[in-house]
């Protein structure tokens, strides 16, 4: 998700806490405190990175001659093709808790450009229903990545006793639109919602960041009741993501904290339950792409995000 371009309008920053270091957070996950407020009114839509297209063809469909990583083999992905409905929760510490995982984009979006270009109301304005997402230079798409991580997270969280629902499981022709993604979490009365993404920023931009909802009260959007709880959720996810994956926070947004606040994302603006986005890395950087295309690393990413959710739900 890119923050550059003519529509990017950074907001005044709050006083900063000291930048996060990996060593500190590995010892104290709660060290990820503070964030920088960004407002990009009219910018890219939810999960839309610097090269995430809302029209035309997918960001990448074929490996390029200068591919940065090999495309994962089928054995890298968990064999989890259950239908998109919550399984009966097992007994465990999260029994009775509902988690909604929102895998960003849809592998078939590029075949439905008219539908995903349709504008929807996000409270602060109108944005495209969805985008195609980005991809590595080798052609591994963000939509494939997010669904794979979502499956891994579902397995981990269900073992903790949670009831888990996905906003999409490769079971629909496109979307859902960003407003519907928010409604799915709201309707489920989710205790936590996480939207999984990977960024499409320039080469040399590395690291993950968690996006928190800013206070919005406009039209159909009122995030004020969920700002504090979403911040808590995001901080716990960021701390655990560092601890499990060893990845550093973004070097291009967030001032080293791994936390960014935005007011222009419909998936956050329209949520009535605690929700955050996570950009797990930059698909356009060769070093980050090598991690994102690794099944072993995606398992760590799923574990780190899930551990953050568990920490949040257990208090």
Q: Which residues are catalytic?
A: 279
Burial 179-194 (b: 16+ CB within 10 A, else e): bbbbbbbbebebbbbb
What is d(CA 58, CA 134) in angstroms, rounded to the nearest whole number?
8
What is d(CA 27, CA 69) in angstroms, rounded to the nearest whole number?
31
Q: Which of 281, 191, 271 is nearest to 241 (CA)?
A: 281
What is d(CA 96, CA 163) in angstroms, rounded to the nearest whole number?
7
> Would you say 211 and 145 are in contact if contact means Cβ atoms under 8 Å apart?
no
Main-chain dihedrals φ then ψ at residue 142, nearest 5 degrees: -60, -40
Q: Which residue has the tokens 């206070």?
A: 215
What is d(CA 137, CA 11) in angstroms, rounded to the nearest whole number?
32
Determine how many CB atoms are found less than 10 A away from the CB of residue 206: 20
Question: 208: helix, coil or strand?
Answer: strand
Alpha carbons within 13 A on the beta-carbon side of 144:
22
Give whole-number Cα distances, 1 to 20, 99, 201, 262, 281, in Å.
Answer: 21, 23, 7, 12, 10
Length reported for the chain: 315
């Amino acid at each position: 998700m890119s923050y550059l371009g003519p529509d990017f309008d950074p907001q005044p920053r709050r006083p900063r806490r000291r930048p996060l270091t990996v060593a500190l957070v590995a010892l104290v996950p709660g060290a990820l405190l503070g964030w920088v407020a960004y407002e990009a009114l009219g910018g890219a839509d939810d999960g839309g990175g610097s090269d995430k297209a809302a029209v035309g063809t997918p960001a990448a469909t074929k490996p390029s001659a200068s591919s940065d990583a090999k495309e994962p083999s089928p054995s890298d992905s968990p064999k989890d093709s259950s239908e998109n409905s919550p399984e009966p929760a097992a007994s465990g510490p999260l029994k009775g808790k509902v988690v909604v995982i929102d895998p960003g984009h849809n592998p078939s979006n590029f075949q439905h450009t008219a539908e995903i270009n349709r504008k929807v109301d996000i409270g602060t304005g109108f944005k495209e229903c969805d985008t195609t997402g980005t991809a590595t230079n080798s052609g591994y798409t963000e939509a494939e990545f997010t669904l794979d991580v979502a499956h891994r997270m579902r397995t981990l969280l269900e073992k903790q006793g949670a009831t888990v629902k996905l906003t999409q499981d490769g079971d629909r022709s496109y979307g859902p639109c960003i407003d519907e993604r928010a409604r799915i979490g709201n309707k489920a009365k989710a205790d936590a919602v996480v939207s999984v993404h990977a960024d499409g920023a320039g080469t040399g931009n590395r690291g993950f960041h968690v996006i928190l909802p800013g206070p919005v009260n406009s039209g159909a959007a009122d995030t004020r009741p969920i700002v504090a709880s979403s911040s808590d959720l995001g901080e716990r996810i960021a701390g655990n993501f560092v601890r499990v994956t060893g990845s550093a926070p973004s070097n291009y947004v967030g001032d080293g904290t791994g936390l960014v606040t935005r007011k222009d994302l419909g998936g956050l603006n329209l949520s009535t339950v605690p929700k955050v986005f996570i950009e797990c890395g930059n698909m356009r950087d060769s070093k980050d792409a090598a991690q994102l295309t690794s099944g072993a690393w995606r398992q760590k990413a799923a574990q780190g995000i899930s551990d953050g959710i568990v920490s949040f739900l257990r208090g």
